[in-house]
Amino acid sequence: MEHVLNVEDVFKRYKSQGDYAVKNVSFSLLEGEIVGILGPNGAGKSTLIKMILGVICPTKGQILVFGNNPLRFEKKDKVKLGVFLGGKSNLIYHLPVLDSVRLFQSIYRVPKAVFAENLARYSQALQCDGFLQQRVATLSLGQRLRAELLCILIYEPQVLILDEPTAGLDPKGRDLVLEQVAAYQKENGTTVLLVSHSME
Ligand code: ADP
Ligand code: MG
């Protein structure tokens, strides 16, 4: 099996901070594996994810994604990733949900027929059918997070990196999201990196 991710002796210290936000982290992720990163608020989880995505640079250590430095990611690798960063929305606030899904279709060049099939499948699985025509601004938190996930699954990424995808949800809403991530993983052999502060 291929290594999707290698994190080796990684440290991160922000210039404005005295202490390390991430200290000596090493792990790897094989194709098809599901790995959870658990820790309390402020533990450095999101900092680690941002380094994996090449948004910020480690102070020390090495990260390889698909064998490459994420700071020099190529488009062909980027399109394999489905990323949700908690608290940050990918949806266009004042437009219908479907417009955001179509934006993802366009960016990731999902062919029409594949889009139609995936939209039907994942919208139903994530219980989005009832609000696809509704403006994002009118959604509840649970609906919004399911719509965020729909935008990601629509292009069927090989790797899911989900940073707190269920934060703020009630147990039922959380279970629905996690069950659908698990179902998608099982069906596609997806590699999943799931970040949470919730120990359950
Ligand atoms: P988590 O995601 O586990 O809650 P974070 O990675 O967001 O943790 O934060 C880890 C630590 O790094 C915290 O102490 C936070 O204040 C600090 N931190 C995060 N982002 C920045 C930043 N851009 N500049 C300075 N400090 C930061
Ligand atoms: Mg975080």
Residue 194 is predicted with a pLDDT of 97
DSSP H or E stretch at residue 171: helix 171-188
Residue nearest to atom 22 of ligand 1 (CA): 14
Residue 199 is predicted with a pLDDT of 77
Q: Is the pLDDT of residue 5 over 90?
A: yes
Cβ-contact 30, 191 below 8 angstroms: yes
Atom of ligand 1 nearest to the CA of 41: 4
Residue nearest to atom 19 of ligand 1 (CA): 47
Q: Is the pLDDT of residue 200 over 80?
A: no
For range 88-112, the mean pLDDT: 97
Nearest partner of 131 among 117, 150, 147, judged by Cα: 147
> Strand, coil or helix: what is 82?
strand
Q: Is the CB of 200 under 6 A from ligand 1?
A: no
| Closest ligand relative to 88 C-alpha | 2
**What stretches of 59-111 show up as alpha helix (H) in DSSP?**
75-78, 97-107
Atom of ligand 1 nearest to the CA of 19: 14
Pocket test for ligand 1, best of 13, 41, 47, 49 (most atoms within 8 A of CB): 47
Q: How far is the CA of 163 from the centre of ligand 2 (A)?
A: 7
Cβ-contact 166, 145 below 8 angstroms: yes
Q: Is the pLDDT of residue 1 over 90?
A: no
Reported confidence tier of residue 87, pLDDT bands at 50, 70, 90: confident
The strands making up 191-196's β-sheet, listed across from edge to edge, are: 34-38, 191-196, 159-163, 81-85
| Residue 29 bridge partners (DSSP) | 5
Pocket test for ligand 1, best of 11, 17, 59 (most atoms within 8 A of CB): 17
Global confidence as pTM: 0.95
**Alpha-carbon span 80 to 160, nearest angstrom:** 9
Q: How far is the CA of 21 from the centre of ligand 1 (A)?
A: 6
E-only strand ranges, the chain? 3-12, 22-30, 34-38, 60-65, 81-85, 159-163, 191-196
Nearest partner of 22 among 33, 11, 14, judged by Cα: 11
Reported confidence tier of residue 69, pLDDT bands at 50, 70, 90: very high
Q: Which residues, in sequence order, are CB contacts of 61 under 8 Å at separation 6+?
A: 7, 8, 9, 10, 11, 24, 25, 26
> Strand, coil or helix: what is 162?
strand
